[in-house]
Structure 1
């Protein structure tokens, strides 16, 4: 069998995997994924149909497997098996508690369809991979909180939460959730708050109760990255005087935290930021190099940093 037919066989098999894993697959998306023409994808789909695979759909719309059609378990390559082991280790350390148990049962199902040789591979190597997390996990006060949030996004239904703010105030919010993300050792969600009529960011471990309502979303939302750049539009100007010898270590993060200006002075580098995360994210980032920085403005940030340092020192 020549190289051309081997590539086609690999591609056709991969297309079948795509059909098994998604409700509908567009020919254009497959063409981009496998870097071939759309016409080639049409021929590959025809090859699957000729092999007896019942594919529903047609060129120009999308393809899916006929409802109820079952295929034998997918076989994994050695490289894929090794990636599963690494991903499982990461999930054990960094996943939210409400997701970890579900991932563990999912991995058990994956392991059940592996060849014996791959099962032996896992047994031999899983204890040789170490993932170290120095931030202890927070215990869940609510069972399945992230799955509940994700269900509300998928079903486009509002949720009602009780939330404890950074100042220990408790408020009730009716939300339309855009998405969730992990940052600075915590899980967050971005949602449209019907009380504030604006987008807000919430730390998930501060949610005291959550209820999925029957009320549908009142509007459509884009991807989470569209909102993370500007979660509420209320920006605070921050000016720091930073020791020049630490500047090189801030090259990537300083842009993320809203750097707008940077100039050299006799006493150091003066950096100006416009940030939406003045209450939480920015102070926690600043504390990582605070021994090399002075706050020029705003004045209240100095108090915020003092409070944060006091909290940290209690854990020492």
Structure 2
């Protein structure tokens, strides 16, 4: 990285962050602190309004913005595809913003870069199932949840669980404090929230939420809660073992089941182990493989599968 590139990189970092020390900039750019001091002097002499606060760091004068920067083809494709992903998977407000930002990005690209970006983008497709009712409901709920988070208001909803409770019910009404949203490729959007019923942080699949409403009650997110660093408690204590037909081992691996812990090919088949809270969480998935899989333990789950197969036989 030459000096010109480094000065631009410093300005971009300062525009992204309100305050950075010389040590932090040196680490990001891979240069010495002395070099950062010289670069700051050069920026000041060039008329860039850099503010140095003793003992705190550097910042750009409020209201100062960089002129549009140029993008490489790879950078432009990354931004356009990222905007397309947001357009397909977020709620209407973000979808509209993603669409307009994508147009702005394309507008500032040079002719050759725009053509190459369009060519590469044409060879990449993000598949979606926009017409599914569950997807449409999920996107609508995202907007409501985001609004509640911004206003620090609790939400109430009916949650449809995969596994039935002890009394046989599969739905519960929850009032929660929404702390954040996370996206998982397998489970879709997850709501992380403090649940009043469980008196602890829980995560809920947004696609299983219905009758969602924002309440008048407010909440305050704990100072020590960090969504980026949060790791949910692992309450999966039941171990399930199964043997799949070796011929479908690649398909089982591609399925990438969330509960799978280990998998190994042996002479008698593809051995896999799972850890779940309730075996019922695996029932539909296991039955979906038909005669290509045999559950070996626990015996209680084997009996549950037998019961379900008996019900199926009665229907055929």
Residue deviations 1:213-267, cap 9 Å, x none?
5321245213456424x35x25322222333455566679879635269796x75
Which of these residues, 15, 20, 41, is aligned with residue 15 of structure 2? 20
Pick aligned residue for 1:72 from 67, 70, 76: 67
> 3-state SS of the aligned residue for 1:33?
helix
Query: Please, what TM-score do these two structures have when normalized by structure 1?
Result: 0.72
Does the CA contact (< 8 Å) of 1:180 and 1:188 recur in 2? yes
Counterpart of 1:313?
A: none
Asked if 1:146 is matched to 2:173, the reply is no
Q: Secondary structure at the match of 2:219?
A: strand
- Alignment partner, residue 198 of structure 1: 200
* Pairing 1:82–2:85 present: no
Structure 1 residues without counterparts, runs of 5 or longer? 1-5, 311-316
Instruction: Determine which of 199, 210, 214 is the counterpart of 1:211.
Output: 214
- Corresponding residue for 1:34? 29
Shift of 1:202: 0.8
8 Å CA contact 1:173, 1:194 repeated in 2: yes
Q: Distance in 2 between matches of 1:38 and 1:92?
A: 41
**Contact 1:263/1:269 (<8 A) preserved:** yes
TM-score by length of 2: 0.72
2:90 aligned with 1:96 = yes
Which 10-residue stretch deviates more, 298-307 or 171-180? 298-307
Matched, 1:220 2:230: no
Question: Where does residue 275 of structure 2 map in the other structure?
Answer: 274
8 A Cα contact 2:283 2:305, kept in partner: no
Is contact 2:129-2:135 (8 Å) kept?
Answer: no
* Structure 1 residue 70: Cα displacement: 3.2
Are residues 104 and 123 of structure 1, via their aligned partners in 2, closer, same or farther at CA, if it must alter by over 3 Å?
A: same
CA offsets per residue over residues 259-282 of structure 1, 9 Å max, x none?
A: 269796x754554432358565x5
Asked if the contact 2:154–2:177 (Cα under 8 Å) also holds between the matched residues in 1, the reply is yes
1:259-308 Cα distance to aligned partner (Å, 9 max, x none): 269796x754554432358565x56765675653222326458559969x
Give distance in 2, aligned partners of 1:51 and 1:78: 29
Whole-angstrom distance in 2 between the partners of 1:286 and 1:29? 51
Shift of 1:45: 2.8
RMSD of equivalent CA atoms: 4.1
Who is 1:3 aligned against? none
1:45 corresponds in structure 2 to 40
What is the CA–CA distance in structure 2 between the aligned matches of 1:124 and 1:261, rounded to whole Å?
40
Name the CA distance, whole Å, in 1 between partners of 2:307 and 2:116: 49
8 Å contact kept, 1:28–1:38: yes
